[in-house]
A and B are shown apart, each in its own frame.
Chain A
């Protein structure tokens, strides 16, 4: 179960998840400001080089990043078909206008989606949920009740997958599985919800019995460190953002979306 997995033995796995999330912010902001192929293209190039350099190359090209490579062209194509028309017209069929301008926007959009989503997905895959909870509670000082409650919920989500399988078999055994899929699915979803609530309340009792929510200051067995490695990762994120913006400005393609 990927959500309950023990810390993956990957490079950057030991870096505070808060730093990894922070590192993606500057580039995302920069790329949201402009719509041009140069900044996004340069960013993708930098990302590939950086991830390969730290040893995440195999994860970068693994099936787990596939959603990015599928979603990005789809967004791009919709911009090509329906984007604001300008320049030479290639196809004109009703609502669909493929023009020189819309193709350019489509390509830029696709590159931008890849440039923003790729680092987010790769970095997220190196994050262990327990480390994330430690980071959120200790580094960002979010309330412990909220963070640990979320962590426990995440663990229960894993058992819900098994519950779903068992419930569908159980309903077949009860003679009610011949109904149309929508009705069957709704009934089953409700049954799953009931079970999930019951499991959650047992877990809550177990947590409470072990002093969770007791008055007084909670300590943390694992220290969420924030040192050189964390600042290094954030610097890397800033660097990629700076390089892409500089390249776009130098190439003259920098255009703020609202101008």
Chain B
């Protein structure tokens, strides 16, 4: 092996580095001073908007040129400008769907090697070694479209480590994965840094997951400067309250959530007197007509209760939720709304007009971007009330309190697409609440959310539940289920399910 083919851990230097996006007045990162020694494993923490992603993108050299933004100060990899150091850094992004380039597994891993001009005879062995390093034992010509989220993220990691970078940069690599996928990816990263000795910089909200892998924690303040830096245990102890306020999950936080069972309220009594809001019998559900993913489901949603739908990826959880939400027509069996919920409309929710759904069932989709219709946060909240033809005064009376309650007031004029992940989630929940539906259906509401947004969602759902709403939540998040669920529907991989009351 020649020397340049060996992987050398890289050193990172930031000296007064700042970056401002072309379209923004305020810099995303300002005055960053940071040195990371070769081989260090760093967890980068900070509130949303502190520029964590911008720093990783800057280190990866993909921030773009002068047209896209303005950089000042210096950002160096091994003493050379980061934007010229392609191949020395490897970046893995959050979205498992958006970073696969090629249709076949081996081709995807080879993509970076081809770009670096690696001679063909070397590509095959390096691809195989990278796949083995992340623990992906798949046929080389396996379709990348057929992989699970965890497998896709490990594939993206393989594509990066095949290039033998000196620094691995991971931008919330596990935020969009189910619990199984999270551990798969974390363990693959741990193995890779152990074997290669590469420098690691990872951005994640869920600290307990990543603590075993990192040896240093750097905390950024709201303005992008470093406010704490040092060995993981020391920093986490000293900065615990600031970190919690910034939305960081600390060890022990998930267990500290009050379980739903412990705070049963006046809602209990209300429940059994009324017929179920939604009653499914022998229900079969399908996203594409004719292709049922689950059948024979018996599910009841009661007033003032939270129903959690759980199960592995691909089990049809979202399909069940969207069917109960009246968005998909049942493939078989029956789904009926109580007379009180139907309120004069047909008894089967899928027959309702789009406008009739508004006051009856609100749905919050997994990806908020699928639901955005307008150019500003305020207009987005007005869509539902307008469709109900409420008077302007009434619309204002609904929108203003929601803006305040969900901390969206300062963003009222912002374009929904430019919001952070947590802000988008709060907005999509608020749009559903603006028309005051009796039933709220949420698809993975806590995916990729920091701890602050998480706690707000739990509090809000409890308030809605106590006010009498029926809530269906599709989720992988055990803490969320413990905090809220009265009933849990567990969908299995084959067609079939079981219902139980969580302990």
| Nearest CB in chain B: distance from A206 CB, A | 4
Please tell me if B482 contacts chain A, counting CB pairs below 8 Å: no
Contact B123 A172 (CB under 8 A): no
Contact A6 B327 (CB under 8 A): no
Please tell me if A58 contacts chain B, counting CB pairs below 8 Å: no
Alpha-carbon separation in the docked complex, A173 to B89 (Å): 43
> Which listed residue (A158, A166, A205, A223) contacts B62, Cβ 8 A?
A205
In the complex with contacts A172-B357, A178-B353, A199-B98, A6-B118 CB distance below 8 A: no
Please tell me if A1 contacts chain B, counting CB pairs below 8 Å: yes
In the complex with contacts A1-B145, A166-B370, A210-B112 CB distance below 8 A: yes
Contact A175 B387 (CB under 8 A): yes
Alpha-carbon separation in the docked complex, A258 to B387 (Å): 62
**Within 8 Å CB of A7, what residues of B?**
141
Contact B370 A214 (CB under 8 A): no
In the complex, how many residues of chain B place their beta carbon closer than 8 angstroms to a beta carbon of chain A? 71
Please tell me if B340 contacts chain A, counting CB pairs below 8 Å: no
In the complex with contacts A4-B103, A169-B327, A203-B98, A175-B145 CB distance below 8 A: no
Interface residues of A in 114-169 (CB under 8 A from B): 128-130, 148, 151-152, 155, 158-159, 163, 165-167, 169
> Which listed residue (B87, B101, B127, B361) contacts A207, Cβ 8 A?
B101
| Nearest CB in chain B: distance from A121 CB, A | 21
Contact B115 A177 (CB under 8 A): no
Contact B141 A218 (CB under 8 A): no
The 8 A CB mask of A194-231 against B (1 = contact, 0 = none) is 11001100110111111111101111111100000000
Nearest A residue to B362 via CB reads A173
Contact A214 B86 (CB under 8 A): yes
Please tell me if B163 contacts chain A, counting CB pairs below 8 Å: yes
Nearest A residue to B87 via CB reads A211
**Within 8 Å CB of B327, what residues of A?**
169, 172-173
Alpha-carbon separation in the docked complex, A128 to B371 (Å): 34
> Which listed residue (A175, A205, A218) contacts B114, Cβ 8 A?
A218
The 8 A CB mask of B53-64 against A (1 = contact, 0 = none) is 000010011100
Residue in B57, B98, B120, B371 with the greatest tally of chain A CB atoms within 10 Å: B98
Alpha-carbon separation in the docked complex, A177 to B373 (Å): 12
In the complex with contacts A4-B145, A174-B383, A199-B98, A208-B62 CB distance below 8 A: yes
Alpha-carbon separation in the docked complex, A4 to B110 (Å): 18
In the complex with contacts A129-B103, A175-B383, A210-B431 CB distance below 8 A: no
Please tell me if A170 contacts chain B, counting CB pairs below 8 Å: yes
Please tell me if A187 contacts chain B, counting CB pairs below 8 Å: yes
Main secondary structure of the interface of A (DSSP, over half): helix
**Within 8 Å CB of A1, what residues of B?**
145
A174-B431, A205-B93 given; 20 more Cβ-contact pairs under 8 Å: A4-B145, A6-B104, A6-B141, A155-B100, A165-B287, A170-B370, A172-B354, A173-B327, A174-B371, A175-B358, A175-B387, A191-B372, A203-B99, A206-B156, A207-B111, A212-B115, A213-B115, A220-B114, A221-B110, A222-B107
Please tell me if B159 contacts chain A, counting CB pairs below 8 Å: yes
The 8 A CB mask of A82-104 against B (1 = contact, 0 = none) is 00000000000000000000000
Please tell me if B348 contacts chain A, counting CB pairs below 8 Å: no
Please tell me if A64 contacts chain B, counting CB pairs below 8 Å: no
Please tell me if A171 contacts chain B, counting CB pairs below 8 Å: yes
**Within 8 Å CB of B93, what residues of A?**
202, 205-206, 209
**Within 8 Å CB of B163, what residues of A?**
210-211
Please tell me if A45 contacts chain B, counting CB pairs below 8 Å: no
Contact B107 A130 (CB under 8 A): yes
Alpha-carbon separation in the docked complex, A187 to B372 (Å): 11
**Within 8 Å CB of A214, what residues of B?**
86-87, 115-116
**Within 8 Å CB of A10, what residues of B?**
none
Counting from the closest, the 9 A-B pairs by CB-CB distance are A211-B115, A210-B112, A177-B354, A206-B99, A221-B110, A175-B387, A173-B363, A209-B91, A202-B98
Contact B141 A176 (CB under 8 A): no
Contact B370 A210 (CB under 8 A): no
Contact B62 A209 (CB under 8 A): yes
